[in-house]
């Protein structure tokens, strides 16, 4: 059975540019070339894109417990269980390291953006996508806000365009 091709994710601005009948031909060609490169990389398995439930903020990951120290909260353990299931359904596989991680958060999200990085990086390690979240395996992490329902995580080997 042949797996389905990944769908390209276009921003609203990219869609408007491609739909304009009189759009600059050079801009349209460059955009189409970039999208074709992205599609080729995704088909070859170089870039992995996952739709995950929204990660908890770093403030909700751990709690202090007398006699035990810092432990994962119930909320964090539940998110890990859910997100691991989502990764299995989306056929996550080990990535060529070092990687770049890009996180797209919903525009309507409440809370700080940078607090989601730890949960996502730890999940990638736990799922076996990357061996560790140290600098030698993860060279860059970026966070953006955009149109998505929950959270979109893109993991790409360095040297492959994201």
132 part of a folded domain = yes
27 part of a folded domain = no
Residue 155 has pLDDT above 70, yes or no: yes
20 part of a folded domain = no
Residue 2 has pLDDT above 90, yes or no: no
Which pLDDT does position 110 carry in this prediction?
Answer: 84
10 part of a folded domain = no
pLDDT digits (tens, 9 = 90+) for 73-121: 999 999 999 999 999 999 999 988 899 999 999 998 888 888 899 999 9
- Report d(CA 79, CA 73) in Å as an integer: 10
Residue 7 has pLDDT above 70, yes or no: no
38 part of a folded domain = no
- Decide if 112 contacts 55 (C-beta within 8 A): no
pLDDT digits (tens, 9 = 90+) for 14-27: 666 666 666 566 66
Q: Could you tell me the CATH number of the domain that includes residue 134?
A: 3.30.1330.70
Mean pLDDT of 148-159: 88
**Residue 52: CB atoms within 10 Å:** 20
Domain that holds residue 130: 46-157
1 part of a folded domain = no
* Distance (Å) of CA 22 to CA 13, 19, 26, 30, 31: 15, 9, 11, 15, 15
Provide the domain count of the chain: 1
Burial 107-138 (b: 16+ CB within 10 A, else e): eeeeeeeebbbbbbbbbbeebebbeebeeebb
68 part of a folded domain = yes
Nearest Cα neighbor of 141 from 111, 159, 119, 121 is 121
17 part of a folded domain = no
Residue 29 has pLDDT above 90, yes or no: no
How many alpha carbons fall within 13 Å on the CB side of residue 117? 15
Count the residues in the chain: 162
pLDDT digits (tens, 9 = 90+) for 38-63: 665 554 558 899 999 999 988 889 99
- Decide if 48 contacts 155 (C-beta within 8 A): yes
Structure pTM? Answer: 0.70
Please count the helices (runs of H) and the strands (runs of E) in the chain.
Answer: 4, 6
């Amino acid at each position: 059975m042949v797996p389905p091709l990944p769908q390209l994710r276009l921003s609203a601005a990219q869609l408007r540019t491609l739909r304009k009948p009189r759009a600059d031909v050079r801009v349209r060609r460059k955009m189409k070339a970039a999208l074709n490169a992205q599609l080729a990389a995704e088909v070859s398995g170089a870039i992995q894109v996952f739709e995950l439930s929204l990660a908890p903020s770093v403030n909700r990951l751990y709690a202090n417990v007398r006699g035990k120290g810092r432990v994962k909260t119930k909320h964090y353990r539940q998110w890990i269980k859910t997100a691991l299931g989502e990764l299995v359904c989306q056929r996550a596989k080990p990535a060529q390291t070092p990687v770049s991680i890009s996180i797209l958060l919903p525009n309507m999200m409440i809370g700080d953006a940078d607090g989601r990085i730890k949960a996502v990086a730890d999940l990638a390690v736990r799922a076996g996508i990357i061996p560790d979240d140290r600098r030698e395996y993860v060279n860059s992490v970026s966070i953006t806000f955009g149109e998505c329902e929950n959270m979109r995580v893109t993991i790409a080997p360095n040297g492959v365009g994201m």
